[in-house]
Amino acid sequence: MISGKSVLAFVLAGGEGSRLHPLTAERSKPSVPFDGRHRIVDFVLSNLVNSEIYSIYLLVQYKSQSLIEHIRRAWVLSPVIPHHFITVVPPQMQRGPEWFQGTADSVYQNLHLLDLIKPDLVVVFGADHVYRMNIRQMIQFHLDSHADASVAALPIPLDQASAFGVIRTDSIGRIRDFREKPEQAEPMPGRPGYALASMGNYVFTADVLVDVLTRAHKRGGHDFGKNLLPTMCESHRLMAYDFWTNTVPGMRDFEEPAYWRDVGTIDAYYEAHFDTLGENPKFSLSNPRWPIYASPDQTEAAQVHDAHIHSASLAAGVVVRRARIERSLIRRDVIVEEGAEILDSIIMDHTVIGPGAKVRRAIIDQNNIVPAGMRIGYDHEADRARFHVSDSGVVVVGKAQLTS
Q: 27-51: per-residue pLDDT in tens?
A: 999 999 999 889 999 999 999 999 9
Please list the residue range(s) of the chain that carry CATH number 3.90.550.10: 7-262
pLDDT over 90 at 96, yes or no? no
DSSP 196-253: EEEEEEEEEEHHHHHHHHHHHHHHT---IIIIIHHHHHHHS-EEEEEGGG---TT--T
CA distance 28 to 7: 27
Helix (H, G, I), strand (E, B) or coil at 74: helix
CA distance 34 to 40: 6
CA distance 362 to 386: 13
pTM for this one? 0.95
Q: What is the CATH number of domain 7-262?
A: 3.90.550.10
Mean pLDDT of 304-321: 96
CATH value of 301-404 in 3.40.640.10, 1.10.10.60, 3.40.1440.60, 2.160.10.10: 2.160.10.10
Lowest mean pLDDT among 73-77, 247-251, 253-257, 325-329: 73-77
Mean pLDDT of 47-70: 92
CA distance 138 to 198: 14
pLDDT over 80 at 1, yes or no? no
**β-bridge pairing 346-347 and 362-364:** parallel
pLDDT mean across residues, the chain: 93
> Length of the chain, please?
404
What tens digit of pLDDT does each residue of 337-381 get? 999 999 999 999 999 999 999 999 999 999 999 999 999 999 999
Please list the residue range(s) of the chain that carry CATH number 2.160.10.10: 301-404
pLDDT-based confidence at residue 98 (cuts at 50, 70, 90): low
Mean pLDDT of 257-263: 95
Looking at residue 94, what is its pLDDT? Answer: 55
What tens digit of pLDDT does each residue of 274-294 get? 999 999 999 999 999 999 998
pLDDT-based confidence at residue 233 (cuts at 50, 70, 90): very high
Looking at residue 272, what is its pLDDT? Answer: 98
Mean pLDDT of 91-102: 63
* Cβ atoms < 10 Å from Cβ of 303: 13
Per-residue burial over 105-136, b if 16 or more Cβ lie within 10 Å, else e, is bbbbbbbebbeebebbbbbbbbbbbbbbbbbb
